[in-house]
Chains A and B, each alone.
Chain A
């Protein structure tokens, strides 16, 4: 079927080609058997399958949401203790469709890693929802890494609720998939709630990336900071939609959003729509987006040190990503991400 997903919260002219992304010939898997190849490493947190996810505020559209709620084949609910939790989904020849739900409730400082690996050449399909709540002054880190293979479809819907004095740092590292669509919605409901959103994407061949990040600021003095760094090669395409919505009453709130897209090919296409919506005067909001190719000066400098062209490009790409990668504590995972970037830029 042909579907349109990931609608922007406010529509603009159809001719601007950004209100949604059209996906042709997509077959949504139904009645899939339970996804078996998943590892959860946790010592102290409470892990169960009792997720309670219903209507998303935004999400990836009715069809994908319905598909998830009806045919979910992996549910994880986490009440985090003060520790790092790692959830690794391994797609293999027997587990090629994952329709999952993860619900994270954090009232202690904790970090949750969610990693999607593919160990198969087959086309894989992922349609997931991750809902997280931080309360009682907790600081929650959620790191989602997409290592899916190059034929796969990836659909992520994230929701993050940040209560008073709490903080959620949300990382989306999107390195895989023929088509990868990410919808992220956060609601800063409490006073002094903080939400940092960090994203990295890498597109090549004819891959499509569609990121839709929406943050509602409701709490007084709440702060959202969105920083997305990306790189497009070959004929890949990316849509970035970022919305900071200052709701009436969020006095003293601050919101900033920044997106940078490095273009490695003259055929790559980048569309960005950084929106600011505002119904409160006592706020500070700003956004910036930029894109361009690798600067010749930087390239020349690195190459004059004896490094060949391809390696020099890789270095520059990684240096753009570094600020975000440095914030990921798990060194092993960080190295895996860097290796993946290296191998994908070959």
Chain B
């Protein structure tokens, strides 16, 4: 009897690789000289160079995490931290070199820009090659540009916020990021401005044995709102690539920010990304995350609910196939009265893949009348895979409503039986259950990723259920 098979994501559209054709590729490894070289290439102001050097010092001091997936495959001396593609920053796709433009064409970025986005940023290796935004947003004072331009053009804003939400001492890979960061997006939404159509940045790492360290800084001022989408992919090489980006989000009083991510790195990627948000009074921060790619992921977005009535929601799905160890989850600190967090996580493991849901909910003693509800579900599609749930709930006040639920298991025979008694075949029943399992998350994902999600749950309808 053959088993119903759940396919891997069709990676053909991501796995095409271009020739490793670059302008500058710095020597491998991490030394003071490399950091100074990057700083010089970027024309950093002194304060930014000082941050880089301080971060390098911190990187050398901090230990690797003593928990989570095995990172021994990562050898910094084998990774080039800066690769400059043969392109300048452009505001028209026509001006982007053909080979690079072709890459983003295949990924459907220019098409999405025309149909459903208010602005697009595209990064190729270490540098942003394209950035543009709709005219009317520009008129309203919205800033959407690459991070280097922001350091040059808006130094005061950047200085005030850069590495303040995520301190460089947070962990070793944050320190690494701050030392060698390059590229990324800067968004500033002025007071009261509602950006109705999403902005999107797409990060593509083409060069082998290199790292991508983009920095995303978003400030949504009082009463403003924004939906930001981040997409990532890379072709597969035999040696390890590293992604250690950093995302800092400031959601001011009464503001709203939705940050959606589709991580679809190739399976030689170590994805050690850090994302944090500071949420003000009556503000709301929503995270939507789909983690499908990479060899190893350690990714735990975090919200600090610092203002009264602040809210955050996390909706995440992780799909781990053979050879993948995806350690994902969410962290939230309730740091003001009447704050609310809603966490909904799902994971699917198959073919020897490993999924871990790891989280922290901390409700501080001043967060009276706070509410938190956590739900995580894991689906195991075979018995060679692994699924772990490691949630920490740290409650420091009594005036709180807190609940946490988690379940783990395979597709229920009862559900299959029920659907079959309604006339469905076994295969259709199983397919429906897997789709249904992922639906609450997939409906939250950006529209342009619907195809990706369908690929993910592409059930090969053959044979019966073993």
Contacts and interface: CB of A to CB of B under 8 A. Distances in A.
Interface of A: 10-19, 246, 248-249, 251, 261, 263-293
Nearest to B386: A279
Given A281-B380, A286-B405, A13 B398 contact: no
19 contacts: A19-B67, A261-B395, A263-B398, A264-B398, A266-B365, A270-B393, A275-B390, A276-B378, A276-B389, A278-B386, A279-B385, A281-B385, A283-B409, A283-B410, A285-B407, A288-B404, A288-B406, A291-B395, A293-B399
Nearest to B171: A13
- Chain B contact patch, size range: 35 or more
Closest CB pairs A-B (n = 4): A263-B398, A281-B380, A11-B67, A285-B408
Given A278-B387, A288-B405, A271 B395 contact: yes
Contacts of B358: 12-13
Contacts of A287: 389, 404-406
Contacts of A273: 390-393
Nearest to B355: A278
Contacts of B407: 284-286
A288 B407 CA distance: 9
A92 B223 CA distance: 67
Nearest to A237: B396
Interface of B: 65-68, 358, 360, 365, 368, 378, 380-383, 385-410
Contacts of A280: 380, 383
Contacts of B404: 272, 274, 287-290
Given A14-B66, A19-B67, A275-B390, 9 more contacts: A11-B67, A13-B360, A266-B365, A269-B396, A272-B395, A280-B380, A284-B409, A286-B407, A289-B393
B425 to A, nearest CB: 21
B35 to A, nearest CB: 27
Contacts of A275: 388-391
Contacts of A285: 406-409
B382 A12 contact: no
Contacts of A19: 67
B383 A281 contact: yes
Given A267-B365, A268-B398, A274 B388 contact: no
Contacts of A15: 360
B397 A266 contact: yes
Contacts of A292: 398, 400-402
A276 B388 contact: yes
B405 to A, nearest CB: 5
A278 B410 CA distance: 11
A313 B74 CA distance: 55
Contacts of B397: 263, 266
A60 B386 CA distance: 27
A45 B399 CA distance: 50
A276 B407 CA distance: 8
Contact of B392 (A263, A269, A271): A271
Contacts of B392: 12, 16, 18, 271-273
A187 to B, nearest CB: 19
B67 A291 contact: no
A225 to B, nearest CB: 15
A282 B387 CA distance: 12
